[in-house]
Amino acid sequence: MAERLLHVFRNTPLGRETILQSLYFCKMLGVAIEVYVPESKQFVMYFDHDMVQVDLDDSYLTTPDSATTRVRQLAAVYGITPTFFKPKAFTASQLPDISTAFNFMCCPRSISDLSTKIGLGHIGPKVRRIIRSSHFPVLMTSSVFKAWESITVFYGGSANADKALRWGLHLSGITGKPLDLFTYKEGRQEAYFKDRMQAAGLWDQVQRRMRSWHQADQGVFEEHLFHVPHDALIVVGAYGHSLIKEVLFGSKMEAIQSWMPNIMLLVGPNCMVGR
């Protein structure tokens, strides 16, 4: 089955940067792109155990007449023929139901807040819920398109981090891009992480593909983020902990996304593992 990425298009310069990142991602992975050009400011996504209503800002409805032409023009640069998603069902007779049967979805850092917040690194609450509920990883774009030349996986030794590492290895395998690991050890030894990878059956692949492994123990987590290459696609597990833990200790993923301007692939707790 051909893999597909869902992209919600915004016909603005910022929207152009976003779709360029989706197109580059699709080109690298050989994934088809399905573009939704919104006709109303709200849409609904039904997951297995949750439904998410996304409230878009006004910029998503800018000049819809030229939207499809522009998407085709941008996609043609990458030799990709986009298809356009047309909602078939509607909640409350007016809210389009957007399918969740995709393999990836592109979300700008916020699709439910003002676009000005994107540069400041806020993940909108709806994007959080999509990440939590979806079977697919979410591609969170940066404000300006930059071709990524490597893949950096944030590995913290949790079950969700294993999943993220699997995705990182998968992407590295397909694209041939080098893989870097980043671990904030939080008082644990390197052996702990190696054992964990071995137990998950990932260590052999990691040894084959890994270019570098940055391990940090001392100092503030955010200070070490400078070691992540500026042109890397960051792969990180998201919301793998319980709600209480997240409220008490915060989410590493939220910290990374608010500090790092890189494009990110967020692997949620219900996300399927890559091929």
Q: Which is closer to another protein, CB of 82 or CB of 156?
A: 82
Q: H-helix or E-strand containing 19?
A: helix 13-29
Task: Tell which phi-psi region holds residue 238, choosing left (phi > 0), alpha (psi between -120 and 50) or beta.
Answer: beta
Is residue 91 close enough to count as binding another protein by CB under 8 A? Answer: yes
The Cα–Cα gap between 30 and 148 comes to 15
Is residue 81 close enough to count as binding another protein by CB under 8 A? Answer: yes
Is residue 243 close enough to count as binding another protein by CB under 8 A? Answer: no
Contact positions with another protein (CB under 8 A) in 146-185: none
Contact positions with another protein (CB under 8 A) in 21-80: 32, 41-42, 46, 48-51, 53, 55
Q: Which of 83, 189, 198, 212 binds another protein (CB under 8 A)?
A: 83
Q: Which is closer to another protein, CB of 133 or CB of 183?
A: 133
Is residue 88 close enough to count as binding another protein by CB under 8 A? Answer: yes
User: Under rule CB under 8 A, how many of the chain's residues touch another protein?
Assistant: 25
Is residue 270 close enough to count as binding another protein by CB under 8 A? Answer: no
Q: Which of 61, 95, 200, 210 binds another protein (CB under 8 A)?
A: 95
Residue range at the interface with another protein (CB under 8 A); choices 15-23, 81-89, 115-123, 181-189: 81-89
| Beta-bridge partner residues of 236 | 154, 266
Residues 6+ away with beta carbon under 8 Å from 57:
41, 112, 113, 114, 115
Residues 6+ away with beta carbon under 8 Å from 254:
123
Q: Which is closer to another protein, CB of 110 or CB of 183?
A: 110
Residue 32 has phi, psi (to 5 degrees) of: -80, 150
- CA angle at residue 180 from 179 to 185, to 5 degrees? 145
- The full length of the chain comes to 275
- Tokens 């006004």: give the residue: 58
Is residue 89 close enough to count as binding another protein by CB under 8 A? Answer: yes
Q: Which is closer to another protein, CB of 99 or CB of 150?
A: 99
DSSP state, 265?
A: E
Is residue 198 close enough to count as binding another protein by CB under 8 A? Answer: no
Q: How near is the Cβ of 57 to another protein at its closest, in Å? A: 11
Q: Which is closer to another protein, CB of 95 or CB of 202?
A: 95
Q: Which is closer to another protein, CB of 93 or CB of 218?
A: 93
Q: Is 247 helix (H, G, I), strand (E, B) or coil?
A: helix
- Exposure string for 16-39, b = 16+ CB within 10 A, e = fewer: bbbbbbbbbbbbbbebebbbbbbe
Helix residue ranges, H only, the chain: 13-29, 67-77, 125-133, 159-175, 190-199, 203-209, 243-249, 252-259
Q: How near is the Cβ of 182 to another protein at its closest, in Å? A: 32
Residue ranges that bind another protein, judged by CB under 8 A: 1-2, 4, 32, 41-42, 46, 48-51, 53, 55, 81, 83, 88-95, 99, 101
